[in-house]
A and B are shown apart, each in its own frame.
Chain A
Amino acid sequence: MLRVCNLTMRYPNGKLALAGFDLTVKTGELVVVLGGNGSGKTTLLRCVTRMLDPSGGEIWLGDINLAGLSGERLRQARLPLAMVWQQANLVRRRSVLANVASGALGRHGGVWTSLGGLPAEELRAAYGYLDEVGLAALAGQRAGTLSGGQAQRVAIARALAQRPQVLLADEPVASLDHEAADDIMRLLRRLAGEENLAVLCVLHQVELAYSYADRVVGLRDGRTVFDLPCSELPRDAVRQLYLSEAA
């Protein structure tokens, strides 16, 4: 489970990107964060992963507060937290299988992996994850040859190789066509349910949020505007979220 309490982020230029933001994502739940440009969505994910150091607040991953950690302790504590990016961010010249297996590197600190090798059991497991995202047939192919949708599925398989409890996704369908976007969201929905992952997904596509999310959080100026189950979310509230941006 992921719990964010009173998360605040003020950039050095004085801009307040997150202002006391609270959020809980339970195991098996898919929560979508909606918001206009500059609302603080990406900052939220960057703070949760500690790629950015928040100005204040707590980030609880299970019973560990990531906000107070650094260095090796942070690396260890962050292992159950996987991230899928807007672009797949694969190592293009490595095989699809190696890219997926590299998600498991955090659990292996030996000489072999430090020299660029990958444990045989992780390669076997990686094949299984690729099968899970429907791309086992492409295991031997170079990552650079994949389509956008395929690459994003491989990135999800890499995240699974990390054996996460929480999966963050930063606009994972932004650069995909409608069909590929549906595939990815369906996959995230299934992983939340079947693999008992807590999935936090930042999206721009309102219809995808309605179709796949358990809960939707609206974010504006770093503050929560609404946090509602999908079935209770009024269309008007979402429209207002984006109208204020246009204004």
Chain B
Amino acid sequence: MTADAAATRLVERGWGGALSLTLRLILLLGFVLIVLQSALVVHARPQDLITGIYGMTDIIRRAMPPDFSEINKIWWPTLETVDIAIFGTVGGVIMAVPLAVLAADNVTPSRALYYAARGLIGLARSVPDLVWALLFVTAVGLGPFPGALALAVHSVGMLGRLFAETIEHMEMAPIDALSLTGARRLQVFTHGVIPSVLPSLTGITLYRLDENIRSSLVLGFVGAGGIGFELLSAMNLFQYRLVSLYLIVTFVLVLAAERLSALVRTRLA
């Protein structure tokens, strides 16, 4: 077959041919059907958005201008929100590191521990942080502590998995070389494994801290303290100017955490 004939055949069988047009129509129809069924299931009513414009405009009007006279009341909940995230992240790292070592295929001391660690990491990840928060509120009462605990446990899911993957993908030759010098298992870990993976682990941790700051805002809605809790209280009391102030602080906080985390991760790369 000449090159021209082969090219023609490929074009005829490819996306430009009649068959591909039918296939494209089927795919398009399938996509439309999926979107339509999702709209039905969520009871989507676009007309409500139009009739609701008045209500939304009214809330925005009542939320303006933000009540900056209350700015002094906001520092403590803000600090609480940040500290929930810090405690949750540090707690998560403390639990995730040993679990990740057990759950990394190349360094785990036994298969039984490998599967146990993978199971715990999976459990921590599969239960949403809001559910963990509700469980901890029931256990230790309202306030920032259950929120911090919830973030710590939920963070283990993501940190444990990514830490384990980082360890699994690291270069093993320097580790073998260090083992052969006579270094003990723990020394090989602290002198070989940790220095090799520390930059990646730090990057992942900072990313998680950024995520946890956002999550800690939401956790306040279920009684776990911080800005989220104050925001919900202000909404319940119809103090919309205070609500807008909290939203501004939230926006600044999330943006600052995101930028700081991205900056440090870039430096580490």
Interface positions of A (Cβ within 8 A of B): 49, 51, 75-76, 78-79, 82-83, 85, 87, 89-94, 98, 102-107, 109, 113-116, 155, 158-159, 161-162
| Cβ distance A92 to chain B, nearest Cβ, rounded Å | 7
Flag whether B108 is at the interface (Cβ < 8 A).
Answer: no
Cα of A158 to Cα of B191 in the assembled complex, Å: 13
Whether A162 contacts B177 by the Cβ 8 Å rule is: no
Whether B182 contacts A107 by the Cβ 8 Å rule is: yes
Whether B176 contacts A105 by the Cβ 8 Å rule is: no
Whether B182 contacts A106 by the Cβ 8 Å rule is: yes
Cα of A162 to Cα of B192 in the assembled complex, Å: 16
Whether B195 contacts A105 by the Cβ 8 Å rule is: no
B contact residues around A162 at 8 Å (CB): 181-182
- The answer to whether A91 and B182 touch (CB under 8 A), given A85-B173, A105-B187, A115-B190, is no
**CB-contacts of B159-186 with A (<8 A):** 171, 173-174, 176-178, 180-184, 186
A contact residues around B198 at 8 Å (CB): 93
A contact residues around B187 at 8 Å (CB): 105, 113-114
Whether A51 contacts B178 by the Cβ 8 Å rule is: no
Cα of A90 to Cα of B177 in the assembled complex, Å: 8
Cα of A162 to Cα of B176 in the assembled complex, Å: 15
| Cβ distance A101 to chain B, nearest Cβ, rounded Å | 9
Flag whether B215 is at the interface (Cβ < 8 A).
Answer: no
Find the A residue at minimum CB distance from B191. Answer: A102
- The answer to whether A87 and B173 touch (CB under 8 A), given A106-B182, A113-B187, is yes
Whether B181 contacts A51 by the Cβ 8 Å rule is: no
Find the A residue at minimum CB distance from B190. Answer: A116
Flag whether B199 is at the interface (Cβ < 8 A).
Answer: yes
Whether B195 contacts A78 by the Cβ 8 Å rule is: no
Cα of A83 to Cα of B179 in the assembled complex, Å: 11
Flag whether B194 is at the interface (Cβ < 8 A).
Answer: yes
B contact residues around A104 at 8 Å (CB): 181
A contact residues around B190 at 8 Å (CB): 113-116
Whether B177 contacts A114 by the Cβ 8 Å rule is: no
| Cβ distance B149 to chain A, nearest Cβ, rounded Å | 28
Whether B195 contacts A93 by the Cβ 8 Å rule is: yes
- The answer to whether A75 and B184 touch (CB under 8 A), given A51-B176, A85-B173, is yes
B contact residues around A109 at 8 Å (CB): 184
Most buried by B among A85, A87, A106, A155: A106
| Cβ distance B92 to chain A, nearest Cβ, rounded Å | 22
Cα of A75 to Cα of B188 in the assembled complex, Å: 13
- The answer to whether A89 and B181 touch (CB under 8 A), given A94-B195, A114-B187, A116-B194, is no
